Structure 1
Amino acid sequence: MHPFRLFRASVAQLTVACLLLASQALTAAQAEPNRLDRILESGVLRVGTTGDYKPFSYKDPKSGQFIGLDVEMGESLAKALGVKLELVPTSWPTLMADLAADKYDVAMSGVSVSLERQKVAFFSQPYMRDGKTPITLCSNKDKFQSLEQIDRAGVRAIVNPGGTNEKFARANLKQAEIVMHPDNVTIFEQIVQGKADLMMTDAVETRLQSRLHPELCALHPDQPFDFSEKAYLIPRDLVFKQFVDQWLRQDIESGTFAKRFDQWLNYPWQAANKP
């Protein structure tokens, strides 16, 4: 056979083989159940939430119910799916382990996007820009404006374990003392009571906590030490991610998300604090 004809025949055979493999891969992908189908079949959306991060997620001590922006967003997502909402308690130290154990379908609790988390999970499109910045007694606000001022011997920086706050503190503080406090709800009271000098946390949280505690000042929340985003944490399932992204995009573009955020930022959290 002429070499060119042999080449054409080989190319044709290779093309047929590639098309066959592509068809088989597509058929397998279509046959493989995805999380979206599982949720629709079960009729339940399981949302993991920590209940300790205002204005996103807070467990009301009076009623035992979860309230907050991301709790309401979970209700909205469940409604868009046409299923019931089941809130699954999780925590910052166990957030990723609970995801790996399939305890929830999506985490909605003011979760910060991080490369470490992205190694094992997906995130929705971001819904907020943020970054770490200090909060301290207003009488000390001039003392802790920069990381250089904070990272000094004798300075006590308090953090809650297991999340991006602890990671940021350990990456940036070599001389200051890192004080661990397990309860993110009462952690700001530790600063008010003089048991810690400051906390470095998300700028949105410093703004809210400075409203709840007039003794505390959020330091340059418009110019945080780093850049981060908040999004919803999702298992590695492209079909479900695409649905969540589209739902969230519509909520943001319609202006509904901004209204919800303002409502929860201005929620009477002082009343919710009382047991």
Structure 2
Amino acid sequence: MRKKPWLLAGLVLTGVAAWMIWNQQTDAKAHDIFEDHKLVVGTTGDYKPFTYWNEERNRYQGFDIDVIQAFAKAANLDVTFVKTTWPTLSEDTKSGKFDIAVGGITKKVEREVVGDFTSSYFSFQKAPLVKKKDVERLNSLAAINDPAVKIGVNPGGTNEAFVKKHFPKADVTVFENNLYIPKAVKSG
């Protein structure tokens, strides 16, 4: 089976993909989405295939976007999408910026303090996205942890923490948008 480059990002480092439903432990006043008929959804928009911003269509797309839109339609709710980032996800949740966040969100203690998770629907291990010619050379954590190896990672999530822990010798570049990483890998 051929792996899709957009399924992995940079050293596509991801854990359990889950969408988060936030509880009422926020600093903001909660509203009843079923009474208001309004659902505000936070998403990073940079994590294919779960969520990504399609510039040509000027809208969010992806599996999680489709799921939340189907839920909203069935529940007769109007959906508004709000951009969040991996570094600000927990704080945006706590401040009440949105009712729910979607987009392949990994369960972390720091996030569970401010919200609840649904059951995971997808799980996979962290895996590097490398050029085909480098597959044999970059086949272990030790081989990747080398000053000659360039790693692209997104900030503020489990990917960045994994890279810091396992690849302190590598040349790490932080990309604000996960979607830029596969292009950077391709271009070297």
What's the TM-score, normalizing by structure 1? Answer: 0.55
Aligned counterparts of 2:117 and 2:178: Cα–Cα separation in 1: 23
Which residue of the partner structure matches residue 89 of structure 2? Answer: 95
Aligned counterparts of 1:77 and 1:97: Cα–Cα separation in 2: 25
Aligned counterparts of 2:177 and 2:119: Cα–Cα separation in 1: 29
Tell me how far 1:68 sits from its aligned partner: 1.0
Which residue of the partner structure matches residue 133 of structure 1? Answer: 127
Aligned counterparts of 1:187 and 1:172: Cα–Cα separation in 2: 19
1:108 and 2:107 matched? no
Of 142, 151, 154, the residue aligned with 2:145 is 151
One-letter identity of the residue aligned with 1:114: K
Aligned counterparts of 1:115 and 1:85: Cα–Cα separation in 2: 28
Aligned counterparts of 2:96 and 2:127: Cα–Cα separation in 1: 33
Larger deviation, residues 103-112 vs 79-88: 79-88
1:65 and 2:65 matched? no
1:205-216 map, 5 Å? none
One-letter identity of the residue aligned with 2:82: V
Aligned counterparts of 1:111 and 1:52: Cα–Cα separation in 2: 12
Unaligned ranges ≥5, structure 1: 1-33, 195-275
One-letter identity of the residue aligned with 1:72: D
Which residue of the partner structure matches residue 86 of structure 1? Answer: 80
Tell me how far 1:127 sits from its aligned partner: 0.9
Aligned counterparts of 1:176 and 1:134: Cα–Cα separation in 2: 13
SS in 2 for 1:91: coil
SS in 2 for 1:109: strand
Aligned counterparts of 2:128 and 2:167: Cα–Cα separation in 1: 13
Q: Deviations over 1:155-209 (max 9, x none)?
A: 2111111121111111211221221122211111111111xxxxxxxxxxxxxxx
Whose RCO is larger (CA < 8 A, sep 6+)?
Answer: 2
RMSD: 1.7
Which residue of the partner structure matches residue 178 of structure 1? Answer: 172
SS in 1 for 2:42: strand
1:163 and 2:157 matched? yes
Aligned counterparts of 1:106 and 1:152: Cα–Cα separation in 2: 39
Aligned counterparts of 1:152 and 1:67: Cα–Cα separation in 2: 36
Q: Is the helix fraction higher in 1 or 2? A: 1
Aligned counterparts of 2:159 and 2:64: Cα–Cα separation in 1: 19
Percent of matched pairs sharing the same residue = 34
Tell me how far 1:61 sits from its aligned partner: 1.0
Unaligned ranges ≥5, structure 2: 1-28
SS in 2 for 1:110: strand
Pick closer, same or farther for the CA change 1:51–1:125 going to 2, 3 Å.
same
Paired residues in the alignment total: 160
SS in 2 for 1:77: helix
One-letter identity of the residue aligned with 1:187: I
Of 111, 114, 126, the residue aligned with 1:117 is 111
What's the TM-score, normalizing by structure 2? Answer: 0.79
Pick closer, same or farther for the CA change 1:111–1:165 going to 2, 3 Å.
same
Structure with max Cα Rg: 1
Aligned counterparts of 1:80 and 1:171: Cα–Cα separation in 2: 43
Aligned counterparts of 1:57 and 1:63: Cα–Cα separation in 2: 14
Of 24, 27, 33, the residue aligned with 1:39 is 33
1:188 and 2:182 matched? yes
Instruction: After the TM superposition, list the runs of 4 or more consecutive aligned residues in structure 1 that deviate by more than 2 angstroms.
Output: 79-82
SS in 1 for 2:39: strand
